[in-house]
Chains A and B, each alone.
Chain A
Amino acid sequence: MTPVILLLWLVAALLFTAGLAVAIRRSALARRVVYGFSIATCGFAIAVALVHLLASPAITSTAVLPLGLPWIGANFRLDALSAFFVLVINLGGTAASLYGLGYGRHESEPRRVLPFFPAFLAGMNLVLLADDAFTFLLSWEFMSLASWALVMTRHRDDDNRRAGYVYLVMASVGTFALLLAFGLLAGPEGGYAFKTIRAHGASSGLTGLVLALALLGTGSKAGLVPLHVWLPLAHPAAPSHVSALMSGVMTKVAVYGFIRIVFDLLGPPAWWWGVPVLVAGAGTAALGVLYALMQNDIKRVLAYSTIENIGLIFVGLGLALAFGGNGMKAAAALAMTAALFHVLNHALFKSLLFFGAGAVLTATGERRMEMLGGLLNRMPATGLLFLVGAAAISALPPLNGFASEWLMLQAILLSPDLPQWALKLLVPVVGALLALAAALAAACFVRAFGITFLGRPRSEAATNAHEVDRLSIAAMAILALLCLFTGVFPALIIDALAPVVDALTGTRMPVQTHIAWLSIVPVAESRSSYNGLLVFLFITISASLAAFVIHRVASNRVRRAPAWDCGFPDSSPATQYTADSFAQPVRRVFGGFAFRATERVDMPAPGDGRPARMTVTLHDLAWELVYDPVVRLVNFLAERLNHLQFLTIRRYLSLVFGALVLLLLIIASWP
């Protein structure tokens, strides 16, 4: 059996599981069956993808099923690129299923989650395997609808209904753009099979349009600014393990779609393709993390941080296009490796963080950070694992987020050799925005972890929180260990990515695993090198050494006492810094131009008994500048067209006649 057939059987098994979830009446049993089957199928899919990627990446395995468009059938194909993404998606899927096994116990409406969860996984896998436009779009829509159903789990909540509506509209816009993109790629003969498209490519005049449509279609699913507005509404609305899948995994399917269309189907890249991708990516990275810093809902913080990370990935892809268009294959391979590495990393730590947020939600029933605090003492395991995820996403060495960002910065350092002036001026700006985004991300996660897990509990719920079940912790622990592993041994990942990168950019990064001590050397040793393992060992050894020496030679006595706080400790937890007050300095620095933030302080005169008030106003410019005008235009047009409903029959007939004459004129004048 070829790998692609095997994977299709696994997809069928997932769909069957979805059916079982409907059939089984007892929800406790249904939960075990659904998540148990999902773990098994996703784990099997990981094995298939891993074997394919490591053993025979150059071989593509294809299959045609007698479904879909009658004259081409439903085409499926597994190559190195889709194998890598199958790996990432099912890694997230396995972890989410394991987590769901424990977390799902607290689900108030399991019947609204269980059937759609495996269907969602099946849809994502199908997108990766699709090898013609029809199957691709069908799977894409299936994935969107399954995830929409999951977003609407708690549909009685007004906010969730709005989130679902916005998601549905944005998903339709995205699919529509992709439909047009594939239409242009297929050309007048209608060769919708990817094989046919690959053979003739897009006609040269249309590449710009296809690129724009691909960016629009996949970018709206991935969350590129300003197409991101649905994401922070929809991702947090779903149950936490589904949020993890949507944020950590489904956005990666969108990245896959972009890579498939632009790097594979569209033909050899031109340098200017990189420009819109770089601009969109860098803007998304910086704005996404700024938004994240302003949020008070922990799941929203994570959703906005997903937007930032998608921006980083698109910067890597944009650099790969810019290098590739100039024939700088080695540099393109480096940028592509950085982007794909970050795809894997983000899937790992974002799933971990959403699981952590879900654990907090289970323990306290609270998503607002202002109501939490002090959870590290009450939920030590969750706290530690969340901390690992926070450190990884903040790009701290030796964890995995740092390894991919380091590669990205090395790629930027190669770009002064780009010949075009537009790129020469653009790339330094992109580099600065990338550095800014990394620093802001660290601040964002100091805030998210610090307010939620540290300090004193700010509410009754946080005081009485208890650690969550073992399965949830196991799911988080696996992901945390993977974060550490991929960070400490980046050379292994880079080499595993080599066939994918080779297929996309025409070359690969130098072989890394033969370098002494498993260092990574992207270009040449004299230029730059990094060794995650040694950095990890150095830090561990020197910290243990310091602890050992101090405890042996000097003092190891500890006394517990009330907090010092400069002599004026206040027993009320309300005197602590809150999420809002923590973000206030950053808001004052960056909020002015990013959100047109204003602060108004109403301080009553001495003797006046009124409480003082501070009001902060933030404007979401994406809504105000992009969506509100569109909404106004649509409403205006609808208002005008509304009159057509109330005409006399005479007017209707003359309208019909006019339309007929117009159409005849068009046909008559057609060349």
Chain B
Amino acid sequence: MIDMSLIDGLSIQISQMLLVLVSAPLLTGLVRRVKARLLRRQGPPLLQPYRDLIRLVRKEAVIAESASWLFRIVPYIVFAATWVAAALVPTFATGLLFSWSADLIVIIALLGSARFFLALAGMDVGTSFGGIGSSREAMIATLAEPALIMIVFTIALVAGSTQLSTVANAMLAGVGLRVSLGMALIALIIVAIAENGRIPVDNPATHLELTMVHEAMVLEYSGRHLALIELASSIKLLLYASLIACIFVPWGLAPAGAPLHVHLIGVAVYAAKLGVAGILLALFETMIAKMRVFRVPDLLGAALMLGFLGTLLRFVSRSL
């Protein structure tokens, strides 16, 4: 019996790892496609990100003469940290075998590690563009990360756990509508937009704009290294969508030990959630203009304050 549940858990874990890896570029493709259609353009086909990745992987990597060995291993670290983080967020089932090895705080810290190394890579070649990207990324992170921790505090205090599967189960069991959760949701959306470098914080579609952040950091990358970084940022987008879905709309998640067809339904529901998230993101990005880079702290400061107020409410209402 224990063996069976172990095998179940392991198979769910492995299929989840493959699922996030395979479906991440699709979500990116979907957002690009919907955005193009909203602008009355034809847009690239849905599968274009896969083609890009395959083509990049096959090309030789051109590395700047001043680059160090760190430049060449950072893509692998960034990819691995992001992938591991994404593999620990329940997508279609809560019975992940290794969910106990890392809680929500660890997932955030893994994303922080990826960012740490990417920012270093941006500075490695010694160009002004790399530096501009890294320093802005560092500035955004100094506000986004505490905001995330405050959001985690709020959620953990509502659900009584920082363990994502437990949180999802608690949310499924029903915690009612709470003001603090609403604040956490808004804050999390703001942070997700900033962390993924979407409009209005950064524009993923440009390469030559003075306000750019993420694209400036990875400007010197090419070939397989660039492919890994692109894939990692797709996975990161998917991760945030899964995180919001797992915490705030946990319906359809297959519980641990459920039969196969429940898991299949879980996958279908997850696909639907991702589709909705992608379309909403495209709609939002089409409706809004890019912000000046020094307005971004105001936006993220709002997220930090919302997260903080949510936490404070949880602390205070415990005794009411």
Contacts and interface: CB of A to CB of B under 8 A. Distances in A.
Give the most central of A374, A394, A547, A553: most B CB within 10 Å. A547
Interface string A17-41: 0000000000000000000000000
Contacts of A402: 106, 109
Interface of A: 373-374, 376-377, 380, 383, 387, 391, 394-397, 402, 406, 409-410, 412-413, 415-417, 419, 424-425, 427-428, 431-432, 435-436, 438-440, 442-443, 445-447, 449-451, 453-456, 517, 519, 525-531, 534-535, 538-540, 542-544, 546-547, 550, 553-555, 557-566, 569-570, 573, 575-577, 581-586, 588-590
A347 B315 CA distance: 34
Contact of B162 (A413, A554, A555): A413
Contact of B316 (A412, A425, A455, A543): A425
16 contacts: A374-B126, A424-B318, A424-B319, A432-B308, A438-B146, A528-B156, A529-B100, A535-B102, A535-B110, A543-B80, A555-B59, A555-B61, A562-B64, A565-B127, A586-B142, A589-B142
B122 to A, nearest CB: 8
A374 B67 CA distance: 9
Nearest to B127: A565
Contact of B157 (A413, A454, A547, A566): A413
B142 A454 contact: no
Nearest to A375: B68
Contact of A542 (B80, B100, B223, B319): B80
Contacts of A529: 100-101, 103, 163
B182 to A, nearest CB: 18
What DSSP secondary structure best describes chain B's contact surface?
A: helix
B142 A413 contact: no
Given A455-B125, A529-B163, A538-B98, 9 more contacts: A387-B70, A424-B316, A432-B150, A527-B163, A528-B105, A531-B101, A566-B208, A576-B126, A581-B131
Nearest to A449: B120
B123 interface: yes
A561 B58 CA distance: 18
Contacts of B149: 409, 431-432, 435, 438
A139 to B, nearest CB: 39
Nearest to A396: B113
By size class, the interface of chain B is: 35 or more
A402 B116 CA distance: 14
A528 B162 CA distance: 5
Given A416-B157, A554-B57, A454 B139 contact: no
A317 B141 CA distance: 28
Contacts of A380: 69
Nearest to A378: B68
Contacts of B315: 415-416, 424-425, 427-428
A406 B102 CA distance: 11
B141 A443 contact: yes
Contacts of A415: 315
Nearest to A540: B80
Interface in B22-66: 57-66
Given A425-B316, A428-B308, A428-B311, A559 B61 contact: yes
B81 A539 contact: yes
Given A428-B315, A528-B162, A585-B139, A454 B126 contact: yes
Contact of A397 (B61, B106, B166): B106
Given A396-B109, A527-B162, A564-B219, A539 B80 contact: yes
A49 to B, nearest CB: 31
B139 A443 contact: yes
B160 interface: yes
A417 B293 CA distance: 40
Nearest 8 CB-CB pairings of A with B = A577-B131, A455-B126, A585-B139, A435-B146, A543-B80, A450-B123, A435-B149, A456-B126
Contacts of B124: 376, 450, 454-455
A542 B142 contact: no
B68 A586 contact: no
Given A416-B314, A576-B131, A439 B142 contact: yes
B80 A582 contact: no
B69 to A, nearest CB: 7
B267 interface: no
Contact of A374 (B66, B293, B304): B66
A560 B77 contact: no
Contact of B79 (A535, A543, A573, A576): A543
Contacts of A563: 64-66, 125-127, 220
A560 B100 contact: no
Given A432-B304, A443-B141, A577 B135 contact: yes
A435 B207 CA distance: 32
B161 interface: yes
Contact of B61 (A449, A558, A570): A558
Nearest to A563: B64
B198 interface: no
Give the most central of A417, A530, A540, A561: most B CB within 10 Å. A530
